[in-house]
């Protein structure tokens, strides 16, 4: 038997906007790179990992400098590959790429002629929290994920909470669903110096002391509730400490923008950076915050709270879905629907900030260390090996 070949569908890695899915794929690939490096040094046999990318995206793929991960380029551009995939018209990609084990990390698979596959499903917001979703995307996922689940041998997800929901919703055996959590790279996410924080604040026109909200702007993230909670704080608190919203525009955000404009007119210090925040600047923006507040109604995992803990920044987040797994015993958890309680938690967090910060500087990075890209990448290898038998 020849060397095992594992193909990873890489559209999420090379698309224009680097989403949470792209970050997850990259984290897993870097974990795989590290595992293969150690195996090669030890003289052990290693699988061949190949990322499937559309034509015209090789420069983006190479920019990640993956040492032991290969690529296979499809004959179509990103635009046409994505369009055919979305319509279910994509040709069986193993006819082009070859026989192997395929991993599809964007909820929905692609057609295969003679290979087996695993599927990554991050959460079930499109089924369980439809009111917070983009309707067209939710309809697409609802239809296509059901079909993909039937085709796949194994499902990978990112939290125990999401695993339980997937097993229950699709009525599939427990052993079919494996958890491979995201993680943060602590060579990158750590408490940055005052000088670096000030430089980044100047770059994005962030002034003074601030509470940070870091997420896509969409209803599920409950930024509407956060704005209300912030505006319930005593005036002497809001005069001293602003609310900074960092994240790309999602959907159903018109009411949120109207509310923010209204509150700003009334004198509340709520702002967004004037342009897109680069990933390299995120650790400094997080490090400069008094608190990270993440009152989401539902999460498959929830990366920003873990990133903030790694940077030693106190976190307030929701007590629902996967979030207790992420901040277990370290972050403050509240009911996402209770704006009074969110407001009170912010006020207490700011009042006790000095003591809280000293504690989180030690406990935060320790909590972040519990999650590892290498451990999760090993889960991918284990799944690939199991389904290839």
Secondary structure (H, E, C), the chain: CCCCEEEEECHHHHCCCCCHHHHHHHHHHHHHHHHHHHHHHCCCCCCEEEEEEEECCHHHHHCCCCCCEEEEEEEEEHHHHHHHHHHCCCCCCHHHHCCCEEEECCCCCCCCCCCEEEEECCCCHHHHCHHHCCHHHHHHHHHHHHHHHHHCCEEEECCHHHHHHHHHHHCCCHHHEEECCCCCCCCCCCCCCHHHHHHHHHHCCCCCEEEEEECCECHHHCHHHHHHHHHCCCHHHHHHEEEEEECCECCCCHHHHHHHHHHHHCCCCEECCCCCCCHHHHHHHHHCCCEEEECCCCCCCCHHHHHHHHCCCCEEEECCCCHHHHHCCCCEEECCCCHHHHHHHHHHHHHCHHHHHHHHHHHHHHHHCCCCHHHHHHHHHHHHHHHHC
Q: Which two tokens stand for residue 259?
A: 């509310």
Q: Which two tokens stand for residue 320?
A: 């629902």
Q: How many domains does the chain have?
A: 2
Same domain, 28 and 160: yes
* Domain contains 237: yes
Q: Which two tokens stand for residue 173?
A: 């055996």
Q: How many angstroms separate the CA atoms of 360 and 357, rounded?
A: 5
Bridge partners, 246 (sequence order): 214
In terms of Cα–Cα distance, which of 96, 48, 89 is closest to 73?
Answer: 96
* Domain contains 111: yes
Same domain, 157 and 274: no
Q: How many angstroms separate the CA atoms of 309 and 284, rounded?
A: 13
In terms of Cα–Cα distance, which of 251, 245, 250 is closest to 214?
Answer: 245
List phi, psi (to 5°) of 370: -70, -15
Q: Give the CATH number of the domain where residue 357 resides.
A: 3.40.50.2000
* Domain contains 85: yes
Same domain, 311 and 377: no
Same domain, 265 and 280: yes
Q: How many residues does the chain have?
A: 389
Same domain, 172 and 218: no
User: What per-residue confidence (pLDDT) applies to 370?
Assistant: 96
CB–CB of 64/83 below 8 Å? no
Q: How many angstroms separate the CA atoms of 313 and 364, rounded?
A: 7
User: What per-residue confidence (pLDDT) applies to 338?
Assistant: 97
* Domain contains 188: no
pTM of the full predicted structure?
Answer: 0.93
The owner of tokens 């999650």 is: 371
For the beta carbon of residue 153, count every other beta carbon within 10 angstroms: 16
Same domain, 245 and 312: yes
Same domain, 10 and 152: yes
Same domain, 379 and 364: no
CB–CB of 342/315 below 8 Å? no
* Domain contains 189: no
For the beta carbon of residue 171, count every other beta carbon within 10 angstroms: 7
Same domain, 101 and 235: no
Opening angle at CA 230, ends 267 and 210, nearest 5: 80
* Domain contains 318: yes
Bridge partners, 51 (sequence order): 8, 71
Q: Which residues of the chain have pLDDT under 70?
A: 1-2, 251
Same domain, 179 and 207: no
* Domain contains 364: yes
Domain extent for 157: 5-183+373-388
Same domain, 304 and 356: yes
* Domain contains 15: yes
Same domain, 256 and 272: yes
User: What per-residue confidence (pLDDT) applies to 251?
Assistant: 66
């Amino acid at each position: 038997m020849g060397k095992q070949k594992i193909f990873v569908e890489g559209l999420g890695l090379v698309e224009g906007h680097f989403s949470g899915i792209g970050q997850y794929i990259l984290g897993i690939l870097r974990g795989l790179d590290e595992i293969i490096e150690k195996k090669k040094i030890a003289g052990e046999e290693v699988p061949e990992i190949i990322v499937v990318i559309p034509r015209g995206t090789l420069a983006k793929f190479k920019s990640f400098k993956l040492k032991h991960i290969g690529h296979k380029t499809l004959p179509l551009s990103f635009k046409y590959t994505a369009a055919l995939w979305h319509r279910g018209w994509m040709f069986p990609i193993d006819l082009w790429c070859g026989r192997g084990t395929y991993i599809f990390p964007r909820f929905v698979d692609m057609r295969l002629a003679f290979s087996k596959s695993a599927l990554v499903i991050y959460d079930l917001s499109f089924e369980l929290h439809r009111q917070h979703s983009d309707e067209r995307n939710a309809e697409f996922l609802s239809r296509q994920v059901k079909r993909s689940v039937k085709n796949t041998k194994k499902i990978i997800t990112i939290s125990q909470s999401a695993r339980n929901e997937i097993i229950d919703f699709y009525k599939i055996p427990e052993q079919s669903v494996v958890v491979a959590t995201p993680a943060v790279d602590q060579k990158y996410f750590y408490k940055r110096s005052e000088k670096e924080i000030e430089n980044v604040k100047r770059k994005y026109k962030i002034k003074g002391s601030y509470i940070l909200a870091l997420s896509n702007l969409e209803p599920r993230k409950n930024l509407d509730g956060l704005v209300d909670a912030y505006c319930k704080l005593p005036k002497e608190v809001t005069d001293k400490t602003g609310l900074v919203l960092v994240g790309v525009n999602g959907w159903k955000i018109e009411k949120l923008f109207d509310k923010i404009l209204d509150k700003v007119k009334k004198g509340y210090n709520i702002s967004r950076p004037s342009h897109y925040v680069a990933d390299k600047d995120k650790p400094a923006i997080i490090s400069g915050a008094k608190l990270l507040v993440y009152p989401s109604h539902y999460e498959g995992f929830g990366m920003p709270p873990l990133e903030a803990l790694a940077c030693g920044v106190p976190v307030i987040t929701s007590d629902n879905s996967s979030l207790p797994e992420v901040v277990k015993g370290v972050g403050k958890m509240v009911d996402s629907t209770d704006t009074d309680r969110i407001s009170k938690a912010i006020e207490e967090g700011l009042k006790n900030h000095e003591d809280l910060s000293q504690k989180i500087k030690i406990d935060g990075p320790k909590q972040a260390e519990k999650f590892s890209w290498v451990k999760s990448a090993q889960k991918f290898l284990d799944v690939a090996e199991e389904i290839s038998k």
